[in-house]
Amino acid sequence: PTPPRSRGMAPPLRKQKRWVAASYFVHFYTALGLPISLLQVLLLLGPEPSFDAFFYLNSLAVFVDATDGTLARLVDVKLNTPTFDGALLDNIVDFITFTFIPSLVTVAFKIVARDDVPMVLNVAVVPLFASAYQFCYSGAKTTESFVGFPSY
């Protein structure tokens, strides 16, 4: 069922256990990106990295990321779990999933040779710094959209 706040009624009480539990479940759902990323790293660092397995895990990570915000708004996580910063968790998972893992991919799948240090710096390391900067830029997101350099 839709939370009372979404139906135009009075906001739900924070102590309503079902909405608090649902909110923590959404945070857990967002955090699923972490073990998915760990599996990707283990796969990429293995003796024979499999592009197919990586692609499936990455697709799963993208699906979780694409759906967690909708779920968070549906159960109003900010109201029901006010001491837990789900946006920060999402940023951590997003940085690992969409910045760190792709940088690792460039080396693991030999897109860039590991011993070509200048190329590794340009293709794998510079995007890490650019994205870290963007994640720390407080004006990068508005309530409607993303703003600025598209590394967020």
DSSP result, the chain: ---GGGGTSSPPPTT-HHHHHHHHHHHHHHHTHHHHHHHHHHHHHSSS--HHHHHHHHHHHHHHHHHHHHHHHHHTHHHHSTTS-HHHHHHHHHHIIIIIHHHHHHHHTTSS-TT-HHHHIIIIIHHHHHHHHHHH-TTSB-SS-B-SSTT-
pLDDT tens, per residue, the chain with 152 residues: 555 555 555 555 556 889 999 999 999 999 999 999 999 999 988 888 888 999 999 999 999 999 999 999 999 999 999 999 999 999 999 999 999 999 999 988 888 888 888 998 888 888 899 889 888 888 777 777 777 655 55
